[in-house]
Amino acid sequence: MRSLLATLALSTALTFPGLALARPVTLTTTLNTYGGDGAYLALYVTDASGAYVGSLWMAGGKSKYYEHLRDWYRATGGDQGQIDGITGASVGAGRRLEITLDLADAVFDAGYTLHVDAAVEDMRDSPNEVAVPLTTKGAGMPVAGRRYIANFRYDL
Amino acid sequence: MLRRLHRWPGLVALALVTILGLSGAALSVFPAAERIAAPQAEPGLTVATLADRIKAAYQGVEQIRRAPSGRITAYWFDQGAPGAAVIDPATGQGVVSADPSTAERWLTNLHRSLFLGDRGRIAMAAGAAAMLVLSLFGVAMVARRVGGWRHWFARARGPLAGRLHVEIARIAVAGLVLSSATALWMTASTFDLVPDGAAMPFFPAEVSGETGAAPGRMPVLRQTPVAELRELSFPYPGDATDVLTLSTDRGTGYLDQGTGALLAWADPTGWERVTETVYMLHTGQGAATLGVVLGLMALGVPAMGATGVLVWLAGGRGRPRIRGNAPAGRAETILLVGSEGGSTWGFAATLHAALTEAGQSVHVGPMSGFAPERHAGAERIILLAATYGEGAAPASAKGFLDRLRTLDRAPDIPLAVLGFGDRSFPAYCAFARAVAQAAKARAWPELLPLDTIDRQSPQDFARWGRGLGEALGIGLDLSHEPALPATERLTLVSRRDYGAEVQAPTAILRFALPRMTLWQRLVGAGFARFQAGDLIGILPEGSAVPRLYSLASARRDGFVEIVVSKHPGGLCSGQLTALEPGDTVTAFLRRNPGFRPGRGRAPLILIGAGTGIGPLAGITRGNARRRPIHLFFGMRHPESDFLYGEDVPAWQDERRLTRLVTAISRGARPHYVQDALRGDAVQIAQLVRDGTRVMVCGGRDMAAGVADALAEILAPSGLTPAVLKAEGRYVEDVY
């Protein structure tokens, strides 16, 4: 269900020229035991110039807290339309978030970067926890986050 | 109606509001602790200086936050590792770790969501709504009970549970209304039901592209005092397009990291400000003292829950089923009940059963359903009417008086009114009296004169029943005992006899304390805790109706003592006065909180006649604090029925008794206690003006005579027994 929704949203959110082939990609985010409440996470993609392209997932249901995902919020202006249908629950400390979605082949090895912003109630905001270039070679390589994310990886 | 609106949400939400109250009280401590522990900024310190100090200490600072408590936290990155600390603004150095306390987080999650996420939040919001409803209806009930808003802080009376419930409520209710209303707002805000989202300025399209300006040079930061700061975020190192973000009490804006220029600014919306205020009022963050006060008030919630359940259990045994209730149109006798807690319905059921047994057809209904035109076959109407608070109609009699007033003429079916009440209230049976008066004013024929039942007394009820039987020409034996408490066997240890020579055989009976279970000792149940003036119910052989006597001893005296005079033909008094040491009786204890000397050192005026001396003697014997006691005692002849006469000299020697005034009714010039009072008018008036408490115990006529005498004595000082009663300084135990 989750991957289906994500696919639907991506076909509208991420439009790439020459989109022909798509492949299922699994995004796995594992959190530290940072000793706080559930973390809000925003997963989104920027292009080679750093401009926002689209959102992949929003973990956390209450829009009033989105401003704490500072980079995502700044890039989108908090636009709920960006995450319609790709919103889930916040992720508890020590838990893992796994999302499968169909991403266009054209996204890989083309200078795109996947970002994760994180925020936890009463703790520091952590925009840009993870910034990982989307390359076919980088698939399956865990990347450490800055504060809340133990590691992040994407598998093709 | 009010009562029902208060009771059901209360019982349903009891568990929720208890958790809310306890966790809320525990949470209220944190903002105060934070306020005390946090190093505060010196007055006049600007954000510019503070930011420079922190930046000097922590090169990679990313964010500075200031909590409403004044606590300043800095977050930084140092060689790839995140750090955070509470900052001493004087030095910019960290003092303690900034991680939120686990206990506070745990309590917060329990308090707002029971650890159940959104569903838990909704449940807790329902709990808050229940608390708000309970508070509002509770306020209306207290106002009605004490007789109006002006008497909001008047002394509460009645059984302990109900009194405690009211006492706690009238202090705590303000806090509970505030806490629950703000809780609902906060929930609405969490679920985006109020448009209070943060107003963010548009991100600037163009920046200077320069980097590296020191915060201490930026004019906006130099003009912003630390007291107004909420948050300052620094740009990413190496990103020349990024900006500084500043949030203060007055809004949010972006600053250029190269020039320090203000690039954009947004003021908070009105909604946002409301939510911030609500948040402060609810959590105490930024208003720590208020938070602690609210927390203390929240502690009242479990206490009110417990006492509320006790009140409900005591009153809610409720309305019994009436078997064989005749239809209103065909019944010969119509019984209409005005009951608040339900106990009067029990009396109605007993009366209904006895009359039905005697061959009558009887209809029982609430007084509020009074409709004389429906009672075509009725030969008599009997009203059993309790009173609510200071003379108001009880729940099941709402609208009765209005209905009566709208009738062109009173029904010509003869009427009897029986009032139920508690003599410790100044408005004893006031509603029944008002009904009887209204009936008289409309010339409603009278079957029996108004009579009253004090504290559900089975004897009073049986006596009234005999009168009713006579009026109807049938023998009517009403034995009603509302839920008999657990009884004990008491063994007589000694007796002292008086009064045989004046045809009033009277005995002071002393019983051993019964053996008590550990549980009784722990909770003070039964005879484990009693005072002089409490009541003892004796179940005589051959009757299910207990007789109540006033206790002449307290628990610490180590015995149970009563004074009994033998009534001609009296079943219970006959058996009691025939007891010999070693014999036993069946008895239970009933508390009588309305008849107590009270705390304090104010003098006491004790007035009693005959066996009424019992509790007064017990109070005098127990007067270890040497409070001045003026005892007025009416007897027939000092040679014969001077009860406790042998104890008086010792009490006076020990200064337990200041003065004894006796009134002798047998002799050339009969002299009663009320006469003795009049003879002492000046001193009594003085004592009363000085705050003395008056306690009267004895027969009904004596009590009425005493009230009249006191009214005369106090008239010059503008006081009346009614006023004293309302202040709780005039209490009676009358039989």
> Is there a contact between B99 and A64 if contact means CB atoms under 8 Å apart?
no
SS3 category, B602: coil
B64, B97, B99: which to substitute to probe chain A, counting the most A Cβ within 10 Å?
B99
Query: Who has greater pLDDT, B221 or B399?
Result: B221
Q: B102 contacts in A (CB within 8 Å)?
A: 35
Whether A109 and chain B come into contact, CB under 8 Å, resolves to: no
Amino acid found at A114: L
Task: Supply the DSSP string of B274-306, one letter for each residue.
Answer: HHHHHHHHHH-TT-HHHHHHHHHHHTHHHHHHH
Residue type, A85: G
The residues pairing with B629 across neighbouring beta strands, listed in sequence order, are B604
CATH T-level assignment (fold) for domain A2-155? Immunoglobulin-like (2.60.40)
Distance from CA of A50 to the nearest CA of B (A): 11
At residue B511, φ and ψ (nearest 5 deg) are: -110, 150
Chain B interface includes A95 (CB < 8 A): no
| C-alpha distance from B266 to closest chain A C-alpha (Å) | 14
Report helix, strand or coil for B416. strand
Q: What is the mean pLDDT of chain A?
A: 84
Query: Cβ(B693)–Cβ(B605) under 8 Å?
Result: yes
Are the CB atoms for B207 and B258 separated by under 8 Å?
yes
Average pLDDT for A127-147: 91
Residues 304-363 of B with CB under 8 A from A: none
Q: Report the gap between the CA of A20 and the closest CA in chain B (Å).
A: 34
DSSP labels, B208-247: -------GGG-HHHHHSBGGGEEEEEPPPTT-TT-EEEEE
- Which of B58, B203, B230, B234 has the highest number of chain A CBs within 10 A, making it the mutation to test binding with A? B203
Q: Which residue in B77, B197, B203 is closest to A64 by CB distance?
A: B197
Q: pLDDT digits over A12-44, tens only?
A: 445 444 445 678 899 999 999 887 889 999 999
Read off the pLDDT band of B197 (50, 70, 90): confident
A47 touches chain B (CB under 8 A): no
Tell me how far apart the alpha carbons of residues B24 and B183 are, in angstroms, rounded to a whole number: 11
pLDDT at B442 over 50: yes
Q: Determine contact: A73 vs chain B, CB below 8 A.
A: yes
Binned at pLDDT 50, 70 and 90, residue B2 comes out as: low
Of the candidates B77, B82, B100, the beta carbon closest to that of A122 is on B100
Render pLDDT for B109-127 as a digit per residue (tens, 0 to 9): 999 999 888 899 999 999 9
Chain A CB contacts of B77 under 8 Å are 146
Q: Which residue in A63, A124, A128 is closest to B63 by CB distance?
A: A124
User: What is the reported pLDDT for B218?
Assistant: 92
Residue B41 CB neighbour total at 10 angstroms: 22
User: Under a CB-based contact definition with an 8 Å cutoff, are residues A113 and A36 in contact?
Assistant: no
**Hey, are the CB atoms on A124 and B236 less than 8 Å from each other?**
no
From chain B, the residues in CB contact with A74 under 8 A are: 203
pLDDT at B632 over 90: yes
Separation of alpha carbons B616 and B607, rounded Å: 8
Residues 133-152, chain A, touching B (beta carbon < 8 A): 146-147
Backbone angles phi, psi at A143, to 5 degrees: -120, 135
Is B697 within 8 Å of B668 (Cβ atoms)?
no
- The residues, any chain, with a CB within 8 Å of residue A78's CB and separated by 6 or more, are A63, A66, A67, B197, B200
Cα separation, B340 vs A79, whole angstroms: 58
Task: Name the residue with higher pLDDT: B312 or B679.
Answer: B679
Looking at residue A154, what is its pLDDT? 93
A-B contacts (CB, under 8 Å): 49
* pLDDT > 90 fraction of chain B, expressed in percent and rounded: 41
Structure tokens that stand for B185 in this block: 């707002």
- What percent of chain B clears pLDDT 70, i.e. is strictly above it? 95
Tokens found for residue A57 = 């997932």
Closest of A21, A42, A45 to residue A126, by C-alpha: A42
Query: Residue B158: pLDDT band by 50, 70, 90 thresholds?
Result: low
Closest chain A CA to residue B76: A124
Q: State yes or no: pLDDT of B1 exceeds 70.
A: no
Question: SS3 for A145?
Answer: coil
- The per-residue pLDDT for range B256-292, each reduced to its tens digit, is 999 999 999 999 989 989 999 999 999 998 888 999 9
Q: What does B316-328 look like in DSSP terms, one character per residue?
A: HT-PPP-TTPPPT
Exposure string of A20-31, with b = 16+ CB inside 10 Å and e = fewer, is eebeebebbbbb
Size of chain B in residues: 735
**CA-based nearest residue to B375, from B326, B319, B436, B320:** B326
Q: Cβ contact (<8 Å) for B192 and A122?
A: no
Nearest to B243 by CA among B230, B261, B231, B228: B261
Look at the block and give the residue holding tokens 């980079």: A71
**Rounded CA gap, B513 and B534, in Å?**
15
Q: How far is B172 from chain A (nearest CA, A)?
A: 30
Least confident of B95-104, B129-138, B456-465: B95-104
Check A37 against B109: CB less than 8 A apart: yes
Interchain CB contact of B272 with A (< 8 Å): no
Alpha helices in B300-399 (DSSP H): 300-316, 343-357
Q: Which residues in chain A are contacts of B189 at CB distance < 8 A? A: 64
Distance from CA of B302 to the nearest CA of A (A): 28
pLDDT value for A2: 41
Contact status of A122 with chain B (Cβ, < 8 Å) = yes
d(CA B411, CA B404): 10
**Residue in A61, A67, A147 nearest the CB of B200:** A67
Per-residue confidence (pLDDT) for residue B532, from 0 to 100: 92
Degrees, nearest 5: CA angle A10-A12-A14? 55
- CA B309: distance to chain centroid? 12
Which residue of chain B is at minimal alpha-carbon distance from A74? B203
Classified as helix, coil or strand, B450 is strand
pLDDT digits (tens, 9 = 90+) for B423-432: 766 778 999 9
Cβ of B82 within 8 Å of Cβ of A123? The answer is no
Place of tokens 């009579």: B451
Q: How far is CA B414 from CA B57, B333, B443, in A?
A: 95, 10, 10
> In angstroms, what CA-CA distances link B214 with B52, B58, B73, B218, B242?
7, 14, 20, 7, 15
A125 lies within 8 A of chain B by CB: yes
Q: Among A37, A61, A62, whose Cβ lies nearest the Cβ of B105? A: A37
Asked if B155 and B727 touch (Cβ cutoff 8 Å), the reply is: yes
For position B424, what pLDDT does the model report? 65
From chain A, the residues in CB contact with B84 under 8 A are: 124
CB count in 10 Å sphere of residue B447? 18
Test A67 with B198 for CB contact under 8 angstroms: yes
Threshold 0.95, pTM exceeds: no
Tokens of A41: 């996470």
- Give the one of B102, B190, B192 whose C-beta lies nearest to A35's C-beta: B102
| B604-609 and B93-97 strand pairing | unpaired
Structure tokens at B235: 């740009």
- Tell me which DSSP letter residue B202 carries: P
The pLDDT value recorded for residue A9 is: 43
Where do we find the tokens 């919001």?
B125
**Distances from the Cα of B124 to the Cαs of B16, B23, B177, B277, B281, in angstroms?**
7, 12, 15, 21, 18
Domain architecture of chain B: domains with CATH: 2-32+104-194+280-312 (no CATH), 40-89+198-268 (no CATH), 317-472 (3.40.50.360), 488-590 (2.40.30.10), 604-734 (3.40.50.80)
Contact residues on chain A for B245, CB-CB shorter than 8 A: 70
Q: Do A63 and B197 touch (CB under 8 A)?
A: yes
What is the token pair recorded at B556? 């610490």
List of chain A residues whose C-beta atoms are within 8 Å of the C-beta of residue B203? 74, 77
Range list of H helices, chain A? 2-13, 70-76
Q: What are the domain boundaries of chain A?
A: 2-155
One DSSP character per residue, B98-119 reads -PPPHHHHHHHHHHHHTT-HHH
Q: From B108, which residue of chain A is nearest by alpha-carbon distance?
A: A37
Q: Determine the Cα angle at A44 with ends A39 and A46, to 5°.
A: 140
CA distance A66 to chain B (A): 10
Find the closest chain A residue to B196 by CA distance. A64
Query: Is ipTM strictly over 0.95?
Result: no
> Of A87, A112, A111, nearest to A99 (Cα)?
A87
Q: Outline where DSSP puts E strands in B51-108.
A: 61-66, 72-78, 81-88, 93-97
pLDDT for the residue B571: 86
B43 to chain A nearest CA, in Å?
Answer: 26
Answer whether B192 touches A (CB < 8 Å): yes
Give the residue, B524 or B459, on which the prediction is more confident: B459
* Separation of alpha carbons B44 and B351, rounded Å: 81
Taking residues A101-125, what's their average pLDDT?
A: 89
> Would you say B595 and B732 are in contact if contact means Cβ atoms under 8 Å apart?
yes
- The predicted model gives B6-27 an average pLDDT of 86
**CB of B459 closer than 8 Å to CB of B545:** yes
Please report, rounded to a whole number, the percentage of residues in chain A having pLDDT higher than 70: 87
On whether any CB of chain B is under 8 Å from the CB of A62, the answer is: yes
For residues B719 and B444, give the distance between their C-alpha atoms in angstroms, rounded to a whole number.
Answer: 36
Cα–Cα distance, B674 to B680 (Å, whole number): 10
**Nearest CA of chain A to the CA of B198: how many Å?**
8
Check residue B641 and give its pLDDT.
87
Q: Is the pLDDT of residue B6 over 80?
A: no
Closest-CA residue to B610 (of B561, B562, B666, B565) = B565
- Please state, in angstroms and rounded to a whole number, the distance separating the CA atoms of residues B482 and B351: 13
Q: Which pLDDT does position A18 carry in this prediction? A: 44
- Residue B294 is predicted with a pLDDT of 93
Q: How far lies B428's CA from each of B347, B385, B446, B732, in Å? A: 18, 12, 22, 11
Do residues A68 and A119 make contact, with C-beta atoms less than 8 angstroms apart? Answer: yes
Residue A44 Cα, gap to closest chain B Cα (Å): 18
A23 reaches B (C-beta below 8 A): no
Nearest-neighbour CA in chain B from A17: distance (Å): 26
pLDDT at residue B274, as a whole number = 93
The minimal CB distance from A147 to the residues B82, B197, B236 is found for: B82
3-state secondary structure of B349: helix
SS3 A71: helix
CB atoms A123 and B100 under 8 Å: yes
Residue A127: closest CA among chain B residues belongs to which residue?
A: B236
B641 class by beta-carbon count within 10 Å (0-12 exposed, 13-18 middle, 19+ buried): buried
Over residues B383-420, the pLDDT tens digits come to 999 987 667 788 788 788 888 888 877 888 999 999 99
**Quick check: B560 and B538 in contact, CB under 8 A?**
no
Q: Give the up-direction half-sphere exposure of residue B175: CA atoms within 13 A in the CB hemisphere.
A: 24
